[in-house]
């Protein structure tokens, strides 16, 4: 074996170790932040709903801070703050839904559906080790389409449009889960904080989209 072959093997080994480290840290942090978010949602179940503008400013402010600080220990702090804030803001909605006749079934089904979709997509990306970078164009276009649909939905109260937005978010989030997991597996993403917050937001959007769809079909809206 030549010197160059030895160097290639060494680089491959280092690359595999780096990927495994990012995967381990990402899923460990994801599990911790999801648990913390669920705890904060439970704490705020009986709280008054948060002002919508305060919620939006808080979510995007903490999201921006986490991206800005992702390469330092402060990124972990803002990641947990983001997860906790999301959970606390969602708690009153879950509490109101649980007080209805079909609420507990809707929440349970949404949780199970979210877990099934996430584990299925992540498992496929991890096992196949495919490159899903081709989804980047779809994700970019989907972001603008969903943004336009949400703005339209503010002024036009059409139930079918709201359902279409929820379905769109499910497809959009599913594409991001495949893309982000593929990026980690193939060495394109080495920052586990950025990977975690991307997957966290996708899981949250999946869950809320399923909540909306199941609530509409159950006749609770």
Residue-wise pLDDT tens digits, 156-189: 777 788 888 889 999 999 999 999 998 988 877 7
pLDDT for residue 174 = 93
What is the pTM (predicted TM-score) of this model?
Answer: 0.88
Token pair listed for 152:
């339209």
75 in Cβ contact with 66 (< 8 Å) = yes
Place of tokens 């948060």: 50
* Chain segment 92-116, per-residue pLDDT in tens: 999 888 888 787 899 999 999 999 9
Q: Where are the domains of the chain?
A: 3-218
d(CA 201, CA 141): 18
Q: What is the pLDDT of residue 110?
A: 92
Q: Apex CA 201: angle with CA 105 and CA 48, to 5°?
A: 60
């Amino acid at each position: 074996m030549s010197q160059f072959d030895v160097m290639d093997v060494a680089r491959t080994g280092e690359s595999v170790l780096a990927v495994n480290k990012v995967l381990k840290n990402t899923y460990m942090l994801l599990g911790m932040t999801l648990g913390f978010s669920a705890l904060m949602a439970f704490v705020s179940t009986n709280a008054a709903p948060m002002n919508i503008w305060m919620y939006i400013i808080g979510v995007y402010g903490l999201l921006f801070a986490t991206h800005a600080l992702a390469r330092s220990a402060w990124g972990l702090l803002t990641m947990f703050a983001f997860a906790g804030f999301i959970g606390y803001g969602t708690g009153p909605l879950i509490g109101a839904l649980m007080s209805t006749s079909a609420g507990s079934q809707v929440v349970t089904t949404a949780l199970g559906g979210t877990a099934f979709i996430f584990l299925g997509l992540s498992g496929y990306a991890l096992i196949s080790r495919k490159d899903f970078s081709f989804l980047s164009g779809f994700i970019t276009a989907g972001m603008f389409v969903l943004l336009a649909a949400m703005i339209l939905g503010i002024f036009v109260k059409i139930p079918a449009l709201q359902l279409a937005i929820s379905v769109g978010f499910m497809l959009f989030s599913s594409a991001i889960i495949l893309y982000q997991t593929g990026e980690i597996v193939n060495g394109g993403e080495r920052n586990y904080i950025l990977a975690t917050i991307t997957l966290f937001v996708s899981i949250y959007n999946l869950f809320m989209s399923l909540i909306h769809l199941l609530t509409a079909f159950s006749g609770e809206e």
